[in-house]
Structure 1
Amino acid sequence: STLYHLLLENQTINSNKYCSQLDQLKAALNEKCLELVNRKHIIFHQDNARLHVSLMTRQKLLQLGWEVLIHPPYSPDTASSDFHLFWSLQNSLNGKNFNSLEDYKRHLEEFFAQQDKKFWEDGIMKLPEKWQKVVEQNGEYVVK
């Protein structure tokens, strides 16, 4: 299964909630990908949103022992929202209307269930190439 969190209407995320989600991610990795966790260290990527760089979050990531991939100050090319998952998810939502949060959750579950291993591997394998372009451009925006 896929780990994701939906915020309730009018709810915002803060450092406490984000750190709690990081703990849940760590537990899910330990449960589902223990061989990967034991074999290699975790390299974590996030953007520079205030709650991602807060002292509490930095301490939590240090406690988890995860290496944080530095995100250039302005580089939409490496933004988490630019990851192919979100493009595909957006395409699956185009033209859809949901009558309830439960309908939306059902759609998300179906969307995630339909993605095969290759879908996830392809997206992950594209990241080093995207990062290399950003490095070559000194963090400047890369025209696609």
Structure 2
Amino acid sequence: MFSKQEQRSWIKIECARGRTARQCCQGLQEACGESALPYRTLASLRSALRKKRRHFLQNPPIILQDNARPHAAQAVADLLDRWGWEVLYHPPYSPDLSPRDFDLIPKMKEPLRGIRFRTVSEILQAVDHSIGTINTTGAAKGILRLPHRWQRVVHNAGDYIEGQ
């Protein structure tokens, strides 16, 4: 039902909540039935977490999640709130904050402007050449300008900043 990796992730969460190995084992057996990891494995994982990931158990993690339906479900929000875990949400998409959109794509399109292509393979070759030129000349420096753009977006209260 659940993969070993999914079960291990659940164990990490339960250990952070202060559950014992036996409690973890009982919970997994309820959820997974016969496919649950054996108690011995749970006990060793829990002890390894306590030794190697002490910071995880002492400081609750900060969860970065999007607004996908399973993440935004009220049950998930209640559970994370009960555990005292801080949740950060991705900001809405903005072309002003994507170096690919404000830097790379305009530079890639410029040498292709006005050219008529007969086949898809000609288009792909021209795009590959354009990107290759940008990569070899180091012209794409958008990532270096990103902190400055963040400041401008915040200063403009999220309004569009193209051309500024």
Compute the TM-score of the two structures, normalised by the length of structure 2.
0.40
Larger radius of gyration: 2
Counting helix residues as a fraction of each chain, which structure ranks higher?
A: 2
